[in-house]
Structure formats: C-alpha cells, structure tokens
Amino acid sequence: MDFSIASILALDGLTNGAIYALLALATVLVFAVTRVIFIPQGEFVAFGALTLALLQAGKVPGTVWFLLVLAGAVAVSDVWNGVRLQHGAGRIARTVLRTLAYPVAISLVAFWAAPRGLPLVAQALLTLALVTPFGTLIYRLAYESLADATVLVLLIVSVGVHFALVGLGLYFFGAEGFRNPSFWDARFSIGPVTLSGQTVIIFFASIALIIALWLFFERSLYGKALRATAVNRLGARLMGISTIGAGRLSFTMAAFIGALSGLLIGPTTTVFYDTGFLIGLKGFVAAVFAGLSSYPLALVGALGVGLLESFGSFWASAFKEVIVFSAILPVLLWRSLRDPHSEEH
Amino acid sequence: MKFKKTLVAMTILLAGSAMADVNVGVSIALTGPGSGLGIPMQNQFKLFPKTIAGEKINLIILDDATDPGKGVTNARRFLTEDKVDIIIGSCITATSAAMAPVIAEGKTVQLSAAPVGVPPGQDHWLFRLPQGFGVMAHPIIEHMVKSGVKTVGFLGYTDAYGELWLKELEARAAKAGIKVVAVERFARTDTSATPQALKLVSANPDAMLVVASGSGAAMPHKALIERGYKGKVYQTHAAATPDLVRIGGKDVEGAYVVSGPAVVAEQLPDSHPSKKASIDFVTKYEALMGAGQRNQFAGHAYDAAIVLEKVLPGALKKAKPGTPEFRAALRDGIETMGRTIFSHGVMNWTKDDHWGYTDETGVLMKVVGGKFVVEK
C-alpha cells in the first residue's frame, strides 16, 4: 500500500462515513428524545433513494399510497381517541383534518408531478416532502401509545416496524435495485484522488446538516425543548413541554435525515429495497460509540466506521463486515468502564 | 333399468381408466418471496401436454408458499393421498432440499427446479433441472483460453453463490493453465466496492470474473471500470438480466456474460443443439403470456415435459401407473435416458451425475450497445 492507494481508500471511507454520520445523528436524536432504538432508520434511506428512482422513471411511487394509508390509519386512531375521551365532533374533525391535510396535499402533488418528468432537483425535493411525514405517522401509529414503556418494549416494536417496512419496500419497489443520476457530474483530480461532484455534495450536505442540527439544539426554543425532554421526560412535562410533540418532531427529523441520506447515496451505489438496513446498522454502531447521547462523538464514530470498512475491505474483503461489527466490542467495553451502568428510567 | 346399468358400467370404466392415469405432483412457490420463480412455472404448466404415450396426465399443482415446511407437507400429501408417480419441485433450493428426504423415502422421483446440493449417493431419487456452476463456467474458461487470458481476478459475493463459483473457477482455471491471481469479496448490501477494485486492479490480471446477481452485478463492475481497469470482465448467469445494462450503462459495455440458452433462443448460433427446443419454448410461452416474458423457470417446467415424454413409454411397458414398480421404472428411465435436448441445454443424467448438463449447455454473450449479443 502506498500513499495514493491509502488516499483513495480514505476518501472512499470518509464518503461512506459521512452518510453513516447522518444516520448516527438521527439514531442518537431519536433515542435521546424518545428512548426508541430506531432500527428502521435505514429504511428511510431506501425509501428516499427508490422513491426518487421511480419518480425519475415517471411512475407514481408506492410510497405515495403507503403515505395515504398510514395517514388514514392515524386518522382512524384520532377518531377512536376522540370518541374515547368524549371530545366534541368539531374537535375530532379538526384533529383528523390536521392529520390528513399534509399527506393528502403532498400525495396530490406527487400524482400531478410523477408523469411530468420535472427536473431532478424538483423531484428530489418532492421525495423529501413525501418521505419526511412517514416519521410522524410511524411514531404516532407504533410508538406514541407506548411512550412510557421500557426501552426493551420499544426496541421490540422497532424490530417489528423494521420488518414491516422492509416487506413493504419489496412490494413497492421490487427486488431489483436502482441507481439514481448524479446531482452534479463534475470530476476533480487532486493528485491520485478523483473527487466526483456527488462526493463533494455528500460532504457539504452532511456538514451543513450537522451545523444546522447544532444551531437548532443550541439556539431554538424547539431544540431546547427537545434537549430538555432528552434529559428528563417528567421534568420537561412539568415545565409545560409536550413530550408527545417532542417525539413527533424527533421522528420527523429522523425521517428527513434518512430520506436525505438516501438521495445522497443513490447516485454512488445501487440501492435495493433492503439496502437501508445495513447502512442504518453501521450508523447505529457509530451511535453506540457515542453512547447514544453525544452528537460530536457519533460523527467521529461514523467516520471511524467508514474508514475501518474501507481499509478492511482492502486488506481482507471477505471479513470486512466481521471487522466492522466486531469493532463495537472494544467500544462497549470502553464505554462500560468509563461510565458504569446505572438503571435509570 | 338399462340406463342405470349403463351408468354403473360407465362409472366403473371411468374409474378404471382414472386409475391408469399418470399423476404428476407439482409443488412450487406461488406466494411468498419466491413467487417470482414459481408463477412463471405455473404459467408454463398450462401448456403441459394433456396426454403422453396415450396416457392421460393429471397435474396436481400445490403452492408451497416459499416455505420448506409447507413443501414437506405437500410432498407427504402427494405420496399418501394423491399417489403420484413423479414430483416436480420446488423452485426454491431450501424447499427442494427439505422435500428431498421425504420423497426419497416414498421412493418417488423428484425433479427439482432448484439447484439442490445433496451429496452424490444421497440423491438416488433426485434429479435437478437447473444448470450447475461447472457447466456455466465452461464457456467462460473456454473463451478465456481462446482469447489468451493467462491471469484472472475474482470479485464475488461473500455468500454461497460466490463460494460455489470460486470453487469452480479455481478448479477449471487450473486445468486450463490460467492463474487466479486475486480473490476479493463483497456483500450484496455493500455501498462501495472501491477498495476491492483497487486491490484487484493493482494485481492487473488479464481478465476479471464478477460473481453477483441482477442489478447487484453492476456496482462491482462499475468500480473496476472507475479504477481504470481495461481488461476483459466476465459476468455469471445470475447477472444475465436486462437489469445489468439498466444500472451499469456504458460501464458494462463489452462485458462477457454467460447464460442458459433458453432465454436467448433467437440469438443462438444454428450449431447450438438447444436452438430448436429453446425457440419452441419461447414462442409458445410468449404467445400465452406476451412478448418479452420468457423466463428461466418457465423453461424448467418446459423441460420437465420433455423428460416425461422421453421416459413414460418405456416405463409403461414395465408396469402400470400408480404402482411402486412404475415409479422405479421412471427413475431408471430418467437415469438411463441418455443425451437429451432441453430448452436449457443438453442433459445427460447418469448413475453418478444427477446434475447432468453437458458442457454444450452454456452460452457466452457480450454486451454490445446495451444489448446482449451471443458471442460466437
């Protein structure tokens, strides 16, 4: 191995690492606020990339129908809750309307836009707008009524949601994969390394998102409310912060980050309906590195996972996955030595 | 009174002839993840001959739901209730493997549409319809020798598909005097094969073999080209789908892809023994299902009919359908039927080889202008 090979490997590792970083941030965010270990995080990646691929092909993606069905199911649960709590008809109608308005509107836009072959950027924005509401809807349907359950119960629900989403992905997108066109076709040569425009976009989008998250948590009232919920749910609730609203917001952000990652990764690799899981799992490894609580550490962990994967597949490609996932063991050891485990609920 | 008597007589006659029918049990995946393989087979069974050698053929088609347990239940039902003479299925390897011991115990022939890896000796009643890996490796190695390839690199899946190909490549390449200089692996879900491509390209072999399936075969191929590889790139039969070109675009241009003959019927050179059978299969199937619907597994169902047409007359001379002797005669007939032309290639099952395809089977194609063109 000489310098040129090492630099190509490093670039490849960092590019993948940047995607893992986004997913790790989303995992940390969701866990910190709701204590849900969100295994299906990676599914948003596949949903994002494949929804764009189908829009590119001029078809209405199955995700649109899924969005409508999910919104319908949540609306039914709204009605049920309203009747159970003896709300008035007007109030129930308003809740249902609030649940349905956005998904129906964006679905109509999708039906209108799909056959028209809009420019790539417009389709990418439409994809983000389509996949992001899945966060709230899935949270409301699967997790909200269990908000006070133990981490284990929430994890079990996550496994179920994961399998459901993978199965639906197969149904919507088929078994064969898609590769999206690149957002920026430029190529730059820096010594032995060729930097493609898409790589540059991945880096900039990741950095921008990380800075945006940092600003959100440090400067905005919503961000501070989320942080307060993360520190102490009961305390936050006593201070008038809606923990339910915090949960919905964090899931929406997670879905947005997942869909964005899908858009970023789509042009660099073939994405299948089940590709998301392994990408999400690597983001999860990075999040564990951060103890599921620290954003900067999650970023460092993700870049580490990317580099480990890239150099691992160069030296011993057959054992690459083993190397990456075994790396979690020393990290767990280090974490348990650093902050001894204490039961907290 | 006379009418009643006639009725009774007719019933007896009908029952008698029904007893003599040849019952064929078919257990394939019509639902579940494997249904994409089973449904084309079911379509082809609509074209299955109604009578062979003057005997009525009763097809009993059951769904195994891509579930090995269900497959075993189906096999038991075939053996105990339907008293079938031969069983076709399943199209899924795991299901076929689960059914095999049950069917063997019932001393009935199983024509598996999936490549089941039961060791030789334990597959006394089991015959496979799909091609094995060695048969498909043959045209690749032959082409490499012809075009002066001395060294080859391997970039394949970390799973059983990659493993079996590597074993065949190493064995056959050594015999042909070709050296395997680098072996790299990747997983189907990997997002990058750049590191593997770097290592392979730096070993600079004359040719590369990429072992992957469908659209998944494009990513490693593109990685090789992006790293500046200029030699020949070969792909296996799992990659012989339009998805390779759809995803790979101009990067897979000039690649060599091996395939079974059934799906490229029209393009086969006239010298290919399967040309007639393949064209017959494709025309009839696409007349029923629509143009462009040809499919590997429908071809297996077509070939199953060829087997029955060849061995039934002989077996009927030895015993009556529905008896153990008849089932044994069928088995012996299949084992000794000799060189037989299938739509999928040339089959020659023998006592020691229940895979059976000969090296005349595989066809090498080249990607030219986004289309597969048979390489002559």
- pLDDT tens digits, A213-236: 888 988 999 888 888 888 888 888
- Residues of A with CB below 8 A from B199's CB? 314, 317
Give the other-Cβ count within 10 Å of A264's Cβ. 28
User: Residues A223, A227, A229, A230: what is their CA dihedral angle, to the nearest 10 degrees?
Assistant: 140
Residue A210: the pLDDT is: 86
- Residues of B with CB below 8 A from A279's CB? 189, 191
Q: For residues B257 and B363, give the distance between their C-alpha atoms in angstroms, rounded to a whole number.
A: 8
B104 touches A at CB < 8 Å = no
Structure tokens that stand for A109 in this block: 């836009």
Q: What is the ipTM of this complex?
A: 0.81
Examine the pLDDT at A295 and tell me if it is beyond 90. Answer: no
Residues B89-95: what's their mean pLDDT?
Answer: 87
Q: Which chain B residue's Cα is nearest to A278?
A: B189
Examine the pLDDT at A15 and tell me if it is beyond 90. Answer: yes
Distances (CA, A) of B276 to A73, B48, B254: 55, 18, 28
Q: Which of A55-59, A339-343, B327-331 is least confident?
A: A339-343
Strand duo B256-259 + B232-235: pairing: parallel
Residue B3: the pLDDT is: 60
Quickly state the pLDDT bin for A21 (edges 50, 70, 90): very high
Residue B124: the pLDDT is: 92
Contact criterion met (CB < 8 Å) for B188 and A178: no
Contact criterion met (CB < 8 Å) for B219 and A9: no
Q: For residues B278 and B266, give the distance between their C-alpha atoms in angstroms, rounded to a whole number.
A: 8
3-state secondary structure of A188: strand
Residues A193-201: what's their mean pLDDT?
Answer: 88
- Identify whether A182 is preceded by a cis peptide bond (ω within 30 of 0): no
Query: Nearest CA to A46 among A150, A214, A162, A215?
Result: A162
Of residues B199 and B159, more confidently modeled: B199
Query: Nearest CA to B357 among B273, B298, B288?
Result: B273
Q: For residues B118 and B72, give the distance between their C-alpha atoms in angstroms, rounded to a whole number.
A: 16
Residue B222: the pLDDT is: 92
Contact criterion met (CB < 8 Å) for B218 and A179: yes
Count residue pairs from A and B with Cβ separation < 8 A: 86
Phi, psi of A254 (to 5 degrees): -65, -45
Q: Which stretches of B167-321 are assigned E, i.e. beta strand?
A: 179-186, 207-211, 232-235, 256-259
B362: distance to nearest CA of chain A, Å?
24
Report the residue of B183, B189, B221 to disrupt the A interface, i.e. the one with the largest count of A CBs within 10 Å: B189
Examine the pLDDT at B1 and tell me if it is beyond 80. Answer: no
B236: distance to nearest CA of chain A, Å?
17
Q: Which residue among A268, A278, A313 places its CB closest to the CB of B195?
A: A313
Residues B206, B180: contact at Cβ < 8 Å? no
A177 touches B at CB < 8 Å = yes
Contact criterion met (CB < 8 Å) for A269 and B216: no
Report the residue of A8, A278, A313 to disrupt the B interface, i.e. the one with the largest count of B CBs within 10 Å: A313
With a pLDDT cut of 90, the percent of chain A lying above it is: 56
Residues B344, B268: contact at Cβ < 8 Å? no
Q: Which stretches of B217-342 are assigned E, i.e. beta strand?
A: 232-235, 256-259, 340-342
Contact criterion met (CB < 8 Å) for B191 and A16: yes
Residue A294: the pLDDT is: 84
Query: Nearest CA to B199 among B179, B215, B213, B220?
Result: B220
Contact criterion met (CB < 8 Å) for B219 and A310: no
Class of residue B15 by CB neighbours under 10 A (exposed 0-12, middle 13-18, buried 19+): exposed
Residue B17: the pLDDT is: 47
Q: For residues A249 and A242, give the distance between their C-alpha atoms in angstroms, rounded to a whole number.
A: 11
- Residues of B with CB below 8 A from A7's CB? none
Q: For residues A281 and A291, give the distance between their C-alpha atoms in angstroms, rounded to a whole number.
A: 15
A16 touches B at CB < 8 Å = yes
Please state the pTM of the whole predicted model: 0.81
Of residues B4 and A198, more confidently modeled: A198
Residue A337: the pLDDT is: 85
Q: Which residue among A175, A270, A321 places its CB closest to the CB of B219?
A: A270
Residues A3-11: what's their mean pLDDT?
Answer: 89
- Separation of CA B371 from chain center: 23
Structure tokens that stand for A295 in this block: 């954003």
Name the one residue in this structure whose structure tokens are 């003896």: A86
- Residues of B with CB below 8 A from A270's CB? 215-216, 218-219, 247
- pLDDT tens digits, B228-261: 899 999 999 888 888 888 888 889 999 999 988 8
Quickly state the pLDDT bin for B57 (edges 50, 70, 90): very high
Residues A302-316: what's their mean pLDDT?
Answer: 93
Q: Which residue among A9, A269, A279 places its CB closest to the CB of B198?
A: A9
- Residues of A with CB below 8 A from B204's CB? none
B4: distance to nearest CA of chain A, Å?
57
Strand duo B232-235 + B51-52: pairing: unpaired
Residue B18: the pLDDT is: 47
Tell me the average pLDDT of chain A: 90
Contact criterion met (CB < 8 Å) for A269 and B219: yes
- Residues of B with CB below 8 A from A179's CB? 215, 218-219, 247
Quickly state the pLDDT bin for A335 (edges 50, 70, 90): confident
Q: Which residue among A178, A310, A321 places its CB closest to the CB of B195?
A: A310
C-alpha triplet B251, B255, B258: angle, nearest 5° = 140
A182: distance to nearest CA of chain B, Å?
13
Examine the pLDDT at A345 and tell me if it is beyond 50. Answer: no
Residue A131: the pLDDT is: 96
Of residues B31 and B236, more confidently modeled: B236
Quickly state the pLDDT bin for A343 (edges 50, 70, 90): low
Residue A22: the pLDDT is: 94
Which sign, positive or negative, has the C-alpha torsion B47, B51, B56, B57? negative
Which sign, positive or negative, has the C-alpha torsion B154, B156, B159, B161? negative
- Residues of A with CB below 8 A from B189's CB? 272, 274-275, 277-279
A40: distance to nearest CA of chain B, Å?
16
With a pLDDT cut of 90, the percent of chain B lying above it is: 60
3-state secondary structure of A305: helix
Strand duo B126-128 + B109-112: pairing: parallel
Residues B266-287: what's their mean pLDDT?
Answer: 91
Residues A210, A299: contact at Cβ < 8 Å? yes
Query: Nearest CA to B339 among B295, B297, B306?
Result: B306
In eight-state DSSP terms, residue B113 is: S
Quickly state the pLDDT bin for A133 (edges 50, 70, 90): very high
Q: Which chain A residue's Cα is nearest to B200?
A: A314
- pLDDT tens digits, A250-291: 999 999 999 999 999 999 888 988 889 999 999 999 999 888
Q: Which residues of A304-341 are buried (b: 16+ CB within 10 A; e: fewer)?
A: bbbbbbbbbbbeebbebbeebeebbeebeeebeeeeee
Contacts 24+ apart (CB under 8 A), A58-65: A58/A114, A58/A115, A58/A117, A59/A114, A60/A110, A60/A111, A60/A114, A61/A110, A61/A114, A61/A130, A61/A172, A61/A173, A62/A168, A62/A171, A62/A172, A62/A173, A63/A130, A63/A131, A63/A134, A63/A172, A64/A107, A64/A110, A64/A111, A64/A130
- Residues of A with CB below 8 A from B228's CB? none
Distances (CA, A) of B266 to A98, A111, B253: 59, 40, 21
Residue B237: the pLDDT is: 87
Which sign, positive or negative, has the C-alpha torsion A269, A274, A276, A277? negative
Contact criterion met (CB < 8 Å) for B196 and A313: yes
Q: For residues B305 and B307, give the distance between their C-alpha atoms in angstroms, rounded to a whole number.
A: 5
Q: Which of A16-30, B7-21, B51-65, B102-116 is least confident?
A: B7-21
- pLDDT tens digits, B3-17: 666 655 555 555 444
- pLDDT tens digits, A158-172: 999 999 999 899 889
Q: For residues B324 and B335, give the distance between their C-alpha atoms in angstroms, rounded to a whole number.
A: 17
- Residues of B with CB below 8 A from A176's CB? 214-215, 241, 243
Phi, psi of B191 (to 5 degrees): -100, -5
Contacts 24+ apart (CB under 8 A), B46-51: B46/B288, B47/B284, B47/B285, B47/B288, B47/B302, B48/B301, B48/B305, B49/B305, B49/B308, B49/B309
In eight-state DSSP terms, residue A110 is: H
- pLDDT tens digits, A68-126: 999 999 999 999 989 998 888 899 999 999 999 999 999 999 999 999 889 999 999 99
Residue B172: the pLDDT is: 93
Of residues A316 and B120, more confidently modeled: A316
Residues 186-245 of A with CB under 8 A from B: none
